[in-house]
Amino acid sequence: MARSSSGFVAGLTATAVATIGFLTYRAQADVPPGLGGRPGTSASPAAVVSKAPRDRRHPAALPAGSGTGERVVYSVDDDRVWLVGAGGRVENTFKVTPGTVDPAPGTYTVTSRSKAVTGTDGVPVEHVVRFAAVNGVVIGFSAAVDSTEQPDPDPALQTGGIRESRTDGDTMWMFATIGQKVVVIR
């Protein structure tokens, strides 16, 4: 019962956060010029990045509204990552396989890295790049050492590992050092 209750609560929380982000965006959009507070301020990052529009003709294209500057962009809905250089140019993009716990949309930074560990699902992983935690579950990118060990995440386990291929894991490892910005979008 506790698992289904916590999943229900997590679902309600995610819905509430998305609703607040949308309402914040709408409220800002409806404010007449000159009444929006301090000049040069913008909506919170979570409000902007949670509704990033997509180019339907180019699904691998970087979504508009996914932040600025050098960053990792992770789309929870598309299971895709973009590595964006300082000039705003996409240096790489690839598909990923998420764990069972998703980070909320917003802006994070890489907080820790590990060359090789065992994932929460018991699979040996390498090039672990951590950037968030949700209810005690650490969220980060990693690659399975044995690419044949890519089981679908067990929905009964709370896992925060966002799996990438070993090649993509190498690329992420070189790009996402401590302090690197990570933008999570829907």
User: pLDDT tens-digit profile of 82-132?
Assistant: 999 998 999 999 999 999 999 999 999 999 999 999 988 888 999 999 999
User: pLDDT tens-digit profile of 13-61?
Assistant: 545 444 444 444 444 433 333 333 333 323 334 434 445 566 667 768 8
The CA–CA distances, whole Å, from 93 to 27, 165, 184 equal 33, 12, 14
Predicted local distance difference test score (pLDDT) of residue 46: 45
For domain 53-185, is the CATH number 2.40.440.10?
yes
Give the global pTM.
0.70
Q: Are 183 and 49 in contact (CB under 8 A)?
A: yes
**CB environment 86-103: b (16+ within 10 A), e (fewer):** eeeeeeebbebebbbbbb
Predicted local distance difference test score (pLDDT) of residue 76: 95
Closest CA to 184 of 89, 100, 93, 65: 65
Largest CA distance in the chain: 58
Q: What are phi and psi of 166, to 5 degrees?
A: -65, -40
* Neighbouring residues of 186: CB distance < 8 A, sequence distance ≥ 6: 18, 50, 51, 52, 75, 76, 77, 105
**Count of CB atoms within 10 A of residue 129's CB?**
24
Query: CA-to-CA distance for 80 and 141, rounded, in angstroms?
Result: 11
Say how many Å lie between the first and final Cα of the chain, rounded. Answer: 28
Predicted local distance difference test score (pLDDT) of residue 52: 59
